[in-house]
Amino acid sequence: MALEEYKRKRRFEETPEPPPRVEKKSKHRFVVQKHSATRLHYDFRLEMEGVLKSWAIPKGPSLDPVDKRLAMQVEDHPVSYFDFEGTIPEGNYGAGTVIVWDVGTWEPLSPVPVRGKFVPGTDAEAVEMLKKGDFKIRLHGKRLNGDFAMIHMKARRPGSKGTEWLLIKKQDDYATAGYDIDKYETSVLSKKSIAQMAGDEDAREWKSSRPASRGKLKAPWLAETLAKIDKKKSKKNEVKMAPTKKVTEERKRRSA
């Protein structure tokens, strides 16, 4: 099952993240989530084969073809992760605040260009290109648009996990020299920055078109206990949310 690693890493009675579930249909959406975890990074996810194929990009995507952005492939995520924003509680995998930085749709591009231009390809070609590690896509997002290549780097070092890819913008009308991702700080859904999301009481709950799920709860008393823990946790978080170094720096930057 494609979501086993996703499941293994998480305790669904503690995290607001959605439970693992492979969908029958894929709608070709993509999402970029800005994730302030131990290290700030951007998670790039493509809806494909019933899951979200996922990469963590430390510097975030760029529209400048000069930039070759390191993208570490991570475990497939469930499609319902698509609009997840909020805070993953401390002590859980990926603890930290998440905002949806971009959303849109994607198309596979044919590996064979026509007269030097990339043309749309098929889903079968997409699966094949992903496997080969030379994956070309076209994005139609609010912030990211145009053609991109994802290139799988061959594991050179012994012990390398082979998860390293590069995300590179192709030259087209959307290419932007000197692209600066920090100019776009807010969520395209809630309009909140990471700092605002982290400080927002309401944001601690699962924000999605789907209701929060705790998986299968066997007993009502357990649900009650979990609700109490949630209350305690959000109180504890209030104290912890007092300006951390990162938040203070972000404020400084914004007021500069």
Site residues (vs Mn ion, CB under 5 A): 35, 43
Tell me whether residue 35 or residue 207 sits nearer to Mn ion (CB atom): 35
**Nearer to Mn ion among residue 65 and residue 86 (C-beta):** 86
- Choose between 17 and 43: whose C-beta lies nearer to Mn ion: 43
Q: How far is the CB of 106 from Mn ion (least distance, A)?
A: 19
> Among all residues, whose Cβ is closest to Mn ion?
35
Backbone angles phi, psi at 5, to 5 degrees: -70, -40
Q: Which long-range contacts (C-beta less than 8 Å, at least 24 apart) are formed by 184-191? A: 184/101, 184/143, 185/254, 186/99, 187/34, 187/85, 187/99, 187/100, 187/101, 188/100, 188/101, 188/102, 188/103, 188/142, 188/143, 189/83, 189/85, 189/99, 189/100, 189/103, 190/85, 190/99, 190/100
Tokens of 200: 């927002």
Nearer to Mn ion by Cβ, of 10 and 35: the residue is: 35
Q: Supply the minimum distance, in Å, between the C-beta of residue 28 and Mn ion.
A: 22
Provide, rounded to whole angstroms, the least separation between the CB of residue 102 and Mn ion. 15
Task: Give me the least distance between CB of 119 and Mn ion, in Å please.
Answer: 32
CB of 54 to Mn ion, least distance (A): 8
Q: What letter does residue 207 receive in the DSSP assignment?
A: B
- Looking at the Cβ atoms of 35 and 152, the one nearer to Mn ion is 35
Both tokens of 30, joined, read: 């993509």
